[in-house]
Structure 1
Amino acid sequence: MKTYDIVVIGGGPGGYVAAIRASKEGKKVALVEQGHLGGTCLNRGCIPSKALLKHAEVIHTIRDASKYGVEVGDMTFSLSKMMDRKNQVINTLRGGIQALLRGGKIDLYEGKGSVQPDKTVKVIGEKEETIQGTSIIVATGSFPTIPPIEGLDKISYLTSDDVFDITEIPESIAIIGGGVIGVEFASIFESLGTNVTIVEMADRIVPSEDPAASQLLTKTLRKNKITILTSTKVTAFKEEADKKIVVIQDEMGANKELAVSAVLVAIGRSPNHSATEALTLQKDGKFIKVNEKLETSQSGIYAIGDVIGNWQLAHVASAEGMVAAQNAAGLNKIMDYRIVPRCIYTSPEIASVGLTEAQAKEQGYQVKTATYQLAVNGKALASDHREGFVKIIADKEYGEILGALLVGPHVTDMISQISSYMQLEGTVEEMAELIFPHPTISETLMEAANDWLGKGIHS
């Protein structure tokens, strides 16, 4: 039986990063992966969705070309070519991970890993093997949550795992769930000409984000003829002829039926505990409970990523992977969740970091905010992206930046500037004094900072 200093189970953005970091700490490492390297993010989430959202952006640009004095003929597109390009991107990145693992001299075991109470790991693939780890990092990720709604098991439906493999564009689709996953897929399908309806139980879409962001995104999606039904509950599904029937109940209790060609269930993801079924680990609800070092209730066994909850985001899983790997290697690292950027890649994009205004007030801060509209930004006007804003949330007494909300083009790239200020405990005044290039969307950060100080120029 082969022995290792650290065995990582799961090759997603948390697991493979943990394995590589552990190898850089001089440890002998094994990585166990049942499917493709890259996990949900690379194969069924972040990367394929962004590839298809790029297609949506191109389609919208062509549709709007006449506004820029460019006349084009009838537009056609090929779903198969779009999927081929998406797969090329995925395969390139998978190959990159394999090269990194080889460079780190990490042994890759292809199969399902199961942790035993004695810290051996049983790997069932083409053959059954058992390996031993002094420390183990569980990074088994998650799977789509399927709600127990009457009739759902009687119809064919899509999830965020299999929607990337469709071979035909549906004429109409009901997306169950108006969170991050739901709204991104709504944007993709709308661009392909599908009649899209979002059904959300909460009183607004992307309910985890600031109401102002939700309101602007709702306006834009509806402008693109996407139907949004909020405060609406799905009570049943059925199938009639070639249509799926979604039975819904609105906030007034009235029942209605939606007849659609396809249904996408996108209400969230549940932790995958397949690797720890033989263990008795403490849980926090449905997630594995860990301490600030990401160690579980069993000494020497760590858990990271979607399986522990917190922020179910690829970059958070990677950060957790590095912390867990260092602790498994004998170092003393603490996971800090105070500065986690959160991004939604719709059009307009939404990016936020730190505390929302409501959260800051709940925590006892004397909060002062400033909001700067993109409608008065030169680059935004020139590129016809005037819908959006920058909101800074800061402590009134010292001007320390507590959080920010950005809505507009390229804000998912811009948000790290705010993160950097927060990491260094920067103030609004320091941001206001920084010279930003002009014309750029990023200079709205400086403008918002000056507005916060009551010294704005272009407000």
Structure 2
Amino acid sequence: MKEISCKLLVIGAGPGGYVCAIRAGQLGVDTVIVEFGKPGGTCLNVGCIPSKALIHAAEEFGKIAHIAGGKDPLGIKVGALTLDLTKTIAWKDGIVSRLNSGVAGLLKKAKVKTVQGWATFRDGKTVEVETETGTQVIHAETVVIATGSAPVELPFLPFGGPVISSTEALALSEVPEKLAVVGGGYIGLELGMAFAKMGAKVTVVEALPRVLTQYDAELTRPVLKRLGELGVEVMLGVKAKGLSTKGDALLVETAEGMNAKVTADRILVTVGRKPLTEGWGLERIDLDMAGKFIRIDDQCRTSMRGIFAIGDVTGEPMLAHRAMAQGEMVAEIVAGHKRSWDKRAIPAICFTDPELVAAGLTPEEAKAFAGEIKIGQFPFAANGRAMTKQGEDGFVRVVARADNHLLLGIQAVGQGVSELSAAFGLALEMGARLEDIAGTIHAHPTQGEGFQEAALKALGHALHV
């Protein structure tokens, strides 16, 4: 049994873990990181990156299919087309592989020692790692838990056979003829719309009265319109009950209490994610929990001295960029710097068609927080760049206090608006006011002009609407 000692041990090499380890290494902290799978975690390997690759491929195929159908006004004509999904998946895997190597290289550059295997706590300062060459014992002054999350499995729809999670959906060798998606959240709709563009007949089953409940109804309206255009059937107030005896259909209960079947070759279950808190021996160190998550303070400290936790295992929002920011902060705290978690906004993006971005407070939340507010909304139908991209459906919306015009929230829906998230987040972090955004020159023609115009609208003098 081999034994090593270090100042900092990071368990999990996902976005939060590897960023924490790299930053600690840069600061001269003797760091070891343990990872059972490939570096990059869920996000890089079976989440954010591969899903966006598939979404892009679907978008390109959908555009060409639209043109082939003689419905495009640009004057472009193409013949018959096919999709080799195996080749698409190989291209996606190539991107993931390059990024895996990139993360490994960055860890090495920062002089971080990587141990491949499954870590289990022996006590608050020691873990055992089962590696290919035997058990490795690691003693550490400080430990960071960054074990991430996994898809929630429904007891009546266990993964296997035709029932798949997002992980299996991103590795299919052919497009399902009929795809049932259980869950109308961002993962289900992102992948459901992608497969619909690739030719699948998609049905979304959602138990709640509407989809994308983390966003307000006005923001999601363009997405619902696009779902209809793609032929995606959305069944609301409908509960999934199980798999048919033959395995060729999803059994559901309608809003009226009637039993029905949704015929499907594949059933994609996307009802959320759960923190990975089991199998690591956490019960041996008896950390305080916040429900199913590890409880942390504003410095990501747990209830046990010398143990931090970051990322999905600590609760919502389960976003890679949140984990990264936490990881960087913790590394600097371990190195002796004064840091704390004081974020005004963590932008959330839904990569549907069109895309959704939300940062800060919604109008309803802002009213509850500040009382009287000002709202400015600018439609992309009045934006030249959006029109030239055939992306007029959508808008930018700003929410500010009425008394001092301090920005409280910014939302947008439209083609490619994910790229506006940095500007939204920066404005909120810097404590910008409506006059700051309105007075900043935004390049023309860009969709970013919609941000400035929304601020002008809230001030009562929009120029282009």
Q: Give the TM-score normalised by structure 1.
A: 0.97
Which blocks of at least 5 consecutive residues in structure 1 are unaligned? none
Structure 2 match to 1:429: 435
Structure 2 match to 1:263: 267
Q: 1 CA distance for matches of 2:388 and 2:198? A: 27
Q: 2 CA distance for matches of 1:73 and 1:99? A: 44
The counterpart of 2:14, out of the listed 5, 12, 15, is: 12
SS in 1 for 2:284: coil
SS in 2 for 1:67: coil
- 1:341 correspondence with 2:347: yes
- 1:388 correspondence with 2:394: yes
Query: Cα offset for 1:107?
Result: 0.4
- 1:215 correspondence with 2:204: no
Q: 2 CA distance for matches of 1:124 and 1:154? A: 27
Identity rate, percent: 33
Q: 2 CA distance for matches of 1:32 and 1:254? A: 50
Q: 1 CA distance for matches of 2:225 and 2:245? A: 31
The counterpart of 2:166, out of the listed 154, 160, 165, is: 160
The counterpart of 2:86, out of the listed 80, 88, 106, is: 80
Query: Number of paired residues?
Result: 456
Q: 2 CA distance for matches of 1:114 and 1:153? A: 26
Structure 2 match to 1:358: 364
- 1:71 correspondence with 2:77: yes
SS in 2 for 1:116: strand
Equivalent residue letter for 1:40? T
SS in 2 for 1:325: helix
Q: 2 CA distance for matches of 1:64 and 1:413? A: 25
Conserved 8 A contact 2:153-2:159: no
SS in 2 for 1:2: strand
Conserved 8 A contact 2:124-2:307: no
Conserved 8 A contact 1:114-1:277: no
Structure-to-structure mapping, 1:35-74, within 5 angstroms: 35-65=37-67, 66-74=72-80
Q: 1 CA distance for matches of 2:396 and 2:9? A: 43
Q: Give the TM-score normalised by structure 2.
A: 0.95
Q: 2 CA distance for matches of 1:3 and 1:170? A: 50
Q: 2 CA distance for matches of 1:239 and 1:25? A: 58
SS in 2 for 1:131: strand
Structure 2 match to 1:32: 34
Query: Cα offset for 1:401?
Result: 0.6
SS in 2 for 1:363: helix
Change (3 A) 1:365 1:326: farther
Conserved 8 A contact 1:196-1:226: yes
Structure 2 match to 1:438: 444
Most deviating of 166-175 and 231-240: 231-240
Which blocks of at least 5 consecutive residues in structure 2 are unaligned? none
Equivalent residue letter for 2:145? V
Most deviating of 186-195 and 30-39: 186-195
SS in 2 for 1:253: coil
- 1:22 correspondence with 2:24: yes
Structure 1 match to 2:463: 457
SS in 2 for 1:324: helix
- For each residue in 1:429-457, what CA deviation from the matched residue of structure 2 results, as whole angstroms up to 9, or x when unmatched? 11111111111111011111111111111
The counterpart of 2:144, out of the listed 137, 140, 143, is: 137
CA RMSD of aligned residues (A): 1.4
Structure 1 match to 2:323: 317
Query: Cα offset for 1:353?
Result: 0.3
Structure 1 match to 2:99: 93
- 1:248 correspondence with 2:252: yes
